[in-house]
Structure 1
């Protein structure tokens, strides 16, 4: 399963290259809800799209981003103060008597202080790095869909909650960030042939089992990048979910996966995302539910780069 990916995060890239339009009110809605729900994870590279706002709604998003980061900084600074006190107390106890509890408190506090200092320092940087465009299940990413005869970019959560399902569906089925090709007319039947989208990525990441020198196994994360380097139009399914009681709306998506090419299989993983050819964009985004063969043909006529891998940083 594709558990993480390096995405196109700047909506202007979609506008410039694909002639898409931005669903700005929908972006605004997501950022507004994050003010009271820190579980909404938006990559920093997506936030960077609003660094130089060009409209009043975009300026409002920028204000909310600044407020969110200020709240993060305050919380981390308060926690840093607590851990410094914890470390000082532990070291004071160790001066008189070495105990297991004091040593453990010293170890934990030291590690947390280092982590918090790193987070605070990172929060203050202005440049956008590759890591800022990486998403994981539950994170939000720009996804291109068709709406009203136009290509439209929406901000969607990478874990699909189909319309009509309870919110608890996310916990019960945590793997719904990927949609297996061999199950598109089974589990994913309500969406396949109806709600298709595209996410643009230039790398993806997988958990695989590695072998240590002593012969035991360990979990490692591999980064796969297409060679030659290229941006891939990853086929997705998406859904618009609404809570009828509160009016809350959630847009979410899943990336379609299929059997892996030989080099991905040899690296230890049994699935791979499915990129489509640029000439199929509109046919994919505007599917005919009476012609499933055409949809499968698009998935089969995929680019087939060589996926070079390395240990993820």
Structure 2
């Protein structure tokens, strides 16, 4: 779970907000770009205070209106399909009619859920949760200032082809033991910080329950949320890159640095953990100047909270 409100970075760190980058992202989405922007990020523009924020709010409203109309049309289409299937089943049960009824029912339920979520105004914790390829604010150091930019959570390093995302779908994490290998062009060069209150990991249920698989039991994956026992915000260490495509298109993306887990995380069956930077080292981390020794020292001097866990909703 991350802090999607960039006002948090402004309030705590005096960071500047790169509103032009936010605008570029929302314009790209409005033009049909396939980007995942959580509802929590949209909320930054609920009460705009500048012309730039007002322009982004207008883009969000237009985008939401378009989706609402599209989903309502799909619901109408699926309700007609459902009615046809029910009439067919009443006259003569067939596999096709039963399948049409199942698909239409599921699609209607899905679309109604999307519409409800679109129209919802009260915030929920899931609004700030990110998955692979989701966007969130990331704080970096630029021209002597702390700056907040929107970035995608799955890093595509500069110089890589766009197909990199599909070839390396796990690059939302950057392993500490590979920082001078795969991540050598980012480590010591382009560091970032993401404010997070928890993180999520997939583990096997039987390992979480500290047992062997039962006879005939299939392995089941469950998602766990880890949260510092003391609460509060973690300053998660990240690497980021600005990718420029052959056509001049740009992508800002990042990966969270992970390391061997503390005992309580390992006990759940997971083998990685994010690295929370000590607040006193944030500026040194954001502006590494190629100093790998200092960068490693900052990672080693991390905060080490005790992590509680629970099954994720």
Shorter-chain TM-score category?
Answer: over 0.9
Of 148, 163, 166, the residue aligned with 2:161 is 166
3-state SS in 2 of match to 1:305: coil
Alignment partners' CA distance in 1, 2:239 and 2:57? 29
**Partner of residue 3, structure 1:** none
1:46-78 CA distance string (max 9 Å, x none): 110011111111111000000111111111111
Q: What TM-score do the two structures reach when normalised by structure 2?
A: 0.95
1:249 positional shift: 1.4
Asked if 1:305 is matched to 2:305, the reply is yes
Q: Kindly indicate whether residue 300 of structure 2 is the aligned counterpart of residue 296 of structure 1.
A: no
Q: CA RMSD in A?
A: 1.3
User: Whose relative contact order is higher, 1 or 2, with alpha carbons under 8 Å and at least 6 apart?
Assistant: 1
Equivalent residue of 1:146, what SS? Answer: strand
- Residue 252 of structure 2 corresponds to 251
1:240 aligns with 2:235: no
2:215 aligned with 1:220: no
Q: Give unmatched runs, 5+ long, in structure 1.
A: 1-5
3-state DSSP class of the match of 2:186? coil
- Give 1:38 shift: 4.4
1:95 to 84, 87, 90: 90
Counterparts of 1:36 and 1:172, CA distance in 2: 26
Per the TM alignment, residue 192 of structure 1 is displaced from its structure 2 partner at its CA by 0.3
* 1:249-288 alignment runs, 5 A limit: 249-288=250-289
Q: Deviations over 1:69-104 (max 9, x none)?
A: 111111111111111011101100111112222222
Q: Quick one: distance in 1 between partners of 2:217 and 2:232? A: 36
Return the alpha-carbon distance in structure 1 between the equivalents of residues 110 and 166 of structure 2.
28
Question: Map of 1:19-168 to 2, 5 A cutoff?
Answer: 19-168=14-163
Among 193, 199, 202, the alignment partner of 2:197 is 202
Structure 1 SS opposite 2:232: coil
**Partners of 1:118 and 1:57 in 2: how far apart?**
31
Q: Deviations over 1:9-41 (max 9, x none)?
A: 011110001110101111111111111234111
For 1:38 and 1:32, locate their aligned partners in 2 and report how far apart those are by CA, in whole Å: 9
Structure 2: which 5+ runs fail to align? 207-212
Question: Displacement of 1:166 after TM fit?
Answer: 1.3
Secondary structure of the residue aligned to 1:167 is coil
Matches of 1:257 and 1:41, distance apart in 2: 23
| Counterpart Cα distance in 1 of 2:30 and 2:138 | 22
1:135 match: secondary structure? coil
- Number of residues of Structure 1 aligned to a counterpart in Structure 2: 306
